[in-house]
Amino acid sequence: MDRIVRQVLTVVGGLLGFGVVFQNLALLKGWPVLQAVGANRERVLLPVGILLGGLLGFFFGPLLARWTSRAITWGEGRLQRTPIQDLLSGSIGLIAGLVIAFLLGVDLGGIGVTGTILRVAISIVLGYVGLRVSVRRKDDILRPQNWLPSRMKHRVPADASKPKILDTSVIIDGRIADICDTGFLEGPLVIPGFVLEELRHIADSADVLKRNRGRRGLDILNRIQKESSVPVQIYEREVDPNLEVDSKLLKLAKILDGKVVTNDFNLNKVAELQGVAVLNINELANAVKPVVLPGEEMVVHIIKDGKESGQGIGYLDDGTMIVVDGGRKFIGQTVAVMVTSVLQTAAGRMIFAKLRSHAPGVEAEAR
C-alpha cells in the first residue's frame, strides 16, 4: 500500500510541477540564469518542473498522506461524538457566515493581493462567528415556530400535541400504561435511546431487585406499544454523550419542545428551574384522590398501631393513610370513624380521624 501511495503521489507531484511551471513561464523566462539557455527554454523548464514535483511527491508524499489520514481520523471521531443538532445548526451558521462574507468581499477583488487577503480574512472570521452563534442558539434555530414574529406566534395551532418524553422512573413505575389506556394522555410518547439503554443495564443487573425492576420497565414499554392507542416513538439520536441521563432528558425536551413525564421529585424541581414542562405522575395520583372533609364518616380497617399512644393506622383503597385516634385496641378489625382533619404533604395525603363511638359496628367489635 505504501508503495502504491508513493507512486501515485509521485505522478501527482510531477503533474503539479508541470502545471506550476507552465503557468509561470513568462515570469521564469525573465530570470538572468536562464538567458544562456536560448529560445527553447520551455523544453528545459517543463521537464525540470516535472522532475522536481515528482521528487517532492516521492519523498514527502507518504509523510503527507499519513498526516492527512490522521487528520481525517481525528475529524471523523469528533464528528461522531458531536450531536446531530450541533452539526445541523453549525452548518446553517457556517453557510450564512460565508454568504455574508462573499457579499461583503465582492468589491475587494479589484484591489489586488491586498483585496484577496481581506476577502480570505473576512470569510474566516464571519464563517467562525456564524458557526459559534448557531451552535449556541441551536435550540431556537431547530424550532421553526421561534422564527415567527411575536405577534404571529399565537397563530401556531394551539391544539398541536406536544411530545411526552418518558424517563426511566416513570416507565418502571408502570402507572403510565394505565394512564395511556384511559385516553387522558395525548400526543406522541417519546422514549429516548439512552433511557432504553439504562433500562437494559438495570435488567442485566446482578441485583435481583434491580433486575426485576428493569424487566418490569421493558414489559411496560411492550405493553404500551402493543395495546395503547397513543403513538410511541423511539428517539435514537444522541443528545450529548457528556451529560447525565436527567440532563439529557431536559435538553431533549427543549429540542423537541416537549414535556417530561416522570415521578422523580428532584428531576421535577430541576426542570422547573430550567423552564421545562413536567407531568408528574405522583401529582396526578394525588389530584384524583377523593376529597375528604372534616366531619365525614367512613369505615376503615385498622392494620397496625401508630406513633402516638393509642393510635391505629389504616389505609384507603388508593393508599391514603388514615390515623385513627384510639384505634390501637381495634387492630385487625374494621371500624367506623369520623374525619377530624386532612393533611396534604409532598409525599401524599394523610387523614386524621377518631372513633365513632356510637356506631353499631364499633360497639359490637369492642365487646
| Residue 3 and residue 90 share a domain | no
Q: 191: domain CATH number?
A: 3.40.50.1010
| Residue 362 and residue 279 share a domain | no
Asked whether residue 347 carries a pLDDT value surpassing 70, the answer given is no
| Residue 101 and residue 62 share a domain | no
Any domain includes 155: no
Any domain includes 275: yes
The residue from 149, 183, 206 where one domain ends is 149
Any domain includes 51: yes
Which residues 6+ apart lie within 8 Å of 92 measured at CB?
134, 141
| Residue 93 and residue 187 share a domain | no
Q: What is the pLDDT of residue 337?
A: 92
Q: What is the pLDDT of residue 157?
A: 46
320 vs 15 pLDDT, higher one: 320
Sign (positive or negative) of CA dihedral 327, 329, 331, 332: negative
**pLDDT (tens digit per residue) in 160-214:** 478 899 999 899 988 888 888 888 887 788 898 888 889 999 999 888 888 899 8
Q: Which of 7-21, 225-239, 281-295 has the lowest mean pLDDT?
A: 7-21
Mean local confidence (pLDDT), 334-359: 80
Interhelix angle 84-104/113-136, nearest 10 degrees = 150
| Residue 209 and residue 112 share a domain | no
Q: 323 - beta bridge partners?
A: 313, 352
| Residue 227 and residue 314 share a domain | no
Long-range contacts (CB closer than 8 Å, 24 or more residues apart) made by 286-290: 286/344, 286/348, 286/349, 289/318, 289/320, 289/349, 290/318
Q: What is the pLDDT of residue 27?
A: 55
What are 331's three cell numbers? Answer: 387492630
| Residue 179 and residue 105 share a domain | no
Any domain includes 158: no
Q: What is the pLDDT of residue 292?
A: 82
Which residues 6+ apart lie within 8 Å of 331 measured at CB?
302, 303, 304, 305, 312
What are 104's three cell numbers? Answer: 461583503
| Residue 253 and residue 168 share a domain | yes
Tell me phi and psi for residue 105, to 5 degrees.
Answer: -95, 5
SS3 109: helix
| Residue 98 and residue 7 share a domain | no
Q: Which of 38-47, 130-139, 141-150, 177-186 has the lowest mean pLDDT?
A: 141-150
Mean local confidence (pLDDT), 233-237: 83
What are 333's three cell numbers? Answer: 378489625
| Residue 331 and residue 266 share a domain | no
Q: Which domain holds residue 74?
A: 1-81
Specify the residue for cell string 421529585.
Answer: 265
Mean local confidence (pLDDT), 319-344: 88
What are 87's three cell numbers? Answer: 452539526
Asked whether residue 145 carries a pLDDT value surpassing 80, the answer given is no
Q: 335: domain CATH number?
A: 2.40.50
Tell me phi and psi for residue 205, to 5 degrees.
Answer: -70, 150
Any domain includes 157: no
Q: What is the pLDDT of residue 149?
A: 53
Asked whether residue 253 carries a pLDDT value surpassing 70, the answer given is yes
| Residue 143 and residue 76 share a domain | no
14 vs 278 pLDDT, higher one: 278
- What does the alpha-carbon distance between residue 261 and residue 281 come to, in Å, rounded to a whole number? 7
Q: What is the pLDDT of residue 50?
A: 72
Mean local confidence (pLDDT), 324-348: 85
- What does the alpha-carbon distance between residue 319 and residue 230 come to, in Å, rounded to a whole number? 28
Specify which of 8-12, 16-20, 63-67, 327-331 reaches the highest per-range mean pLDDT.
327-331
| Residue 182 and residue 67 share a domain | no
Q: DSSP strand E in 117-173: where?
A: 164-166
**Domains of the chain: total:** 4
